Structure 1
């Protein structure tokens, strides 16, 4: 069945739901769980790229991502799930593109992710990473909706 399952993780309820589902499925299949955390560096550029060059900002961003992945690893050890983790950096790239390309490069055969369930104006303003992944992925994608993610 599935040998490598990828799940993007952050601090959201949607991500946590996806992580739990991915861990359960990985145990059933004997699959490796490949957890990734995306850091969007463009959100820290404030109108220019000069600020992104600050080593302190880069270290803080990296440390935050490492904390998310550390909590993920701890959970997966408790669940007895074989795991790999990675931080993906985006400097203005579409996050969906980054996830799909990383899945291809790492021979992932299932991608599980949470979605916030935005619709209407919020969807227009925020876009949808999940929708972008669905449009591009050539592997199965499981979306788990959490409508009121705080």
Structure 2
């Protein structure tokens, strides 16, 4: 039984699809859902910081992340699903490691996450957070794929 469902979310269609699947699991299993959103605070720190207010941009990332989590939590609440949220901060783009570490610390029974299903050059250039999570976690994963544009 899956009593503790971890769902990494962002603002993509794949994330929304994963959230829908987590709702199905949570209702069926009467489970608790933990929504997490990972932000990379280093993405602005390495370039053009003489032209940008890096702390302000990082605060904006945090604020946007909190708003995103609140919107997704409302969807769960409307379904009478017990939910908690967490905004995770990473430095240097290792988003997958942040998800894996949080799943272990929270003792998740399953991860439900979206994937774009990129292949070829697109996959090589963009990488895959889902693939990174799969490589490093001991927690079962349900990957929810949505069609890509290219």
TM-score between the two structures when normalised by the length of structure 2: 0.91
Count of residue pairs the alignment pairs up = 150
Runs of 4+ aligned residues of structure 1 deviating over 6 Å after TM superposition are 48-53
Q: Does 1:76 align with 2:88?
A: no
Query: Secondary structure of 2:38's partner?
Result: strand
Distance change (3 Å), C-alpha of 1:110 and 1:131: same
Which 10-residue stretch deviates more, 133-142 or 45-54? 45-54
Query: Secondary structure of 1:108's partner?
Result: coil
Deviation at 1:50, TM superposition (A): 8.2
**Residue aligning to 1:140:** 140
Deviation at 1:46, TM superposition (A): 3.6
RMSD after superposition? 2.1
8 Å Cα contact 2:39/2:88 also seen in 1: yes
Distance change (3 Å), C-alpha of 1:109 and 1:42: same
CA distance in 1, matches of 2:110, 2:75: 20
Q: Which runs of 5+ in 1 are unaligned?
A: none
Q: Does 1:99 align with 2:99?
A: yes
Deviation at 1:57, TM superposition (A): 2.2
**Residue aligning to 1:19:** 19
Distance change (3 Å), C-alpha of 1:75 and 1:53: same
Query: Secondary structure of 1:84's partner?
Result: strand
CA distance in 2, matches of 1:55, 1:124: 31
Q: Which runs of 5+ in 2 are unaligned?
A: none
**Residue aligning to 1:59:** 59
TM-score between the two structures when normalised by the length of structure 1: 0.91
